Amino acid sequence: MKRIFTILALSLFAISSATAQSDIWKAVVGPYSNANGEIVISDPQTVIAVDYTVEAEQTIVGPYARYAMKLLGVRPSLVEKTIYSIKDIKLSIACNKALISAQPKAKSQTKVASYLGSADEFAKVSPDLMSASAISPEEVAAQAAQAIFNIRKSRNDLITGEAGENVFGASLKDALAALDAREQALMELFFGKKIITTTTNRILCYAEEGVTEYPIAKFSSSKGMLPSSAAEGDVVKLTLTAKDAPKLANIAEADPRDKTTLQVRLAAKTDCVASVGDKQLCVATLPVFELGRTVNVANSGALKR
């Protein structure tokens, strides 16, 4: 005999065998005959899939960050760091192949918030071709800062009409866009750039009889999603609250003392809440066997024990 961990459904008819089909609300409990006439054991269990999307914002320090305060009057970050945040959580019932292939279909995405679109390449400051002497990094930074001020003056002159008398309409729009792009590239030398990576992963939570709270992970803004055993981070918790006692709609319950009856497990309609610390991020109503009830129904000779 084999053990079935997928969520089964009950289909009771006065035929020679009992048939179980995929259904997340009700399932045969114990041995029964499947469609092939084989005796199998059904052990219905609820597995809740927690699909979470985490965004990592990485700050790359600019090569002239140390001179930003002196030359531009603004203090940028001088330390490379990554800040994590949970952007989305979805809850669903995992069954069949989902238990084997735990990863969701969503792929990781990376966006480099940079003029050059590169995580490790910065703009180059044109050297003074009239001088053969080497200049210090601070002098190069000063040239970059002066170039930023020149761009801002050129933009203002174009907008006010002080420069480019024949630049208007689409040409003016293109000219301003080119100045903006160049300024951004130079600003990255001082303020760095940001790389935003978005990933989606899945945690499978196996429900237990009578248990309503499940600490499934921990989350840290500096390290991202961590195992539930981690010493740091806010607790990522799944809380289950049954809404009502489930019952069969069209099949009468039998006396549980009758040894010929068939046991059926009914899942309870349950409010499932995913939270991080004190903040609720997702609420979904799902069927949970472990908070439901077991009923007896007439077997009609369908199963020989």
DSSP of the chain: --EE-S-EEEE--SSSS-EEEE-SSEEE-EEEE-TTS-EEEE----EEEEEEEEEEEEEEPPTTGGGHHHHHS-----S-EEEEEEEEEEEEE--THHHHS-S-SPPPEEEEESSS--SS----PPP-TT--S---HHHHHHHHHHHHHHHHHHHHHHHHTSS-TT--THHHHHHHHHHHHHHHHHHHHHH-EEEEEEEEEEEEEE--TT--EEEEEEEETTTEEE-TT-SSSEEEEEEEEE-S----SSS-B--TT-TT-EEEEEEEEEEEEEEETTEEEEEEEEEEEEEEEEEEE--TT----
20-49 pLDDT, tens per residue?
334 678 888 887 777 788 887 888 889 999
Instruction: Fill in the DSSP letter of residue 44.
Output: -
- pTM score: 0.71
d(CA 266, CA 290): 9
d(CA 85, CA 108): 15
Q: What is the pLDDT of residue 47?
A: 92
Alpha-carbon dihedral 19, 21, 27, 29, rounded to 10 degrees = 40
Instruction: Render each residue's pLDDT in the chain as its tens digit; 305 residues.
Output: 333 322 223 333 222 233 333 467 888 888 777 778 888 788 888 999 999 999 999 888 888 989 999 999 888 888 888 999 999 999 999 875 555 555 555 566 776 665 555 666 677 776 544 455 567 888 888 988 999 899 888 888 887 776 555 556 667 788 888 888 888 888 888 888 888 889 999 999 999 998 999 999 999 999 999 999 999 999 999 999 998 888 777 777 777 777 778 888 889 999 999 999 999 999 999 999 999 888 888 876 444 33
d(CA 53, CA 140): 41
User: Which helix (H) or strand (E) segment is 135 a member of?
Assistant: none
Q: What is the pLDDT of residue 19?
A: 34
